[in-house]
Amino acid sequence: MKLRAGAHTLSYVADPDTTVETPLDQLEIAENLDRAYTVSDSGQVRRITIARDKWPLRAVACHEFKTSMFESAQVRCLFKVTEVIPYEWSAFNRLYEVPLAQARRARSFATEQIG
């Protein structure tokens, strides 16, 4: 996986076939994730709460992690979703507006892959 945001990059190689010991503190953090954020085309930042019965996650190996964004960044754990996640989406909560150029950069970072 390779992502780019302007001059910054983040890359790693996931090995989904190699199960590793699951760090319980990281699993607890992942299992407590209950919201997602989006930025609309107009720059509106929205939060949505996700209700689900379970997180079907399995820790897998991660190799060759590199980033130019944060000097101290390191991989603590990489999870593979092992089955469809049963969930319910709540209504969006509008948080705030961001300048359109900033919104486009955030969306670009989240979706742009380096070939």
Which range scores top for mean pLDDT: 21-35, 37-51, 96-110? 21-35
Q: 29 φ, ψ to 5°?
A: -65, -50
**What percent of the chain stands above pLDDT 70?**
77
Average pLDDT of the residues of the chain: 78
DSSP per position, 45-111: EEEEEEEES---EEEEEEEEEEESS-TT-----EEEE-S---EEE---EEEEE--HHHHHHHHHHHH
CA distance 50 to 114: 30
In DSSP terms, 34 is beta-bridged to none
64: left (phi over 0), alpha (psi -120 to 50) or beta: left
Mean pLDDT of 60-80: 88
Q: Is the pLDDT of residue 16 over 80?
A: yes
- pTM for the structure as a whole: 0.59
Q: Is the pLDDT of residue 21 over 70?
A: yes
The pLDDT score that the predictor gives to residue 66 is: 92
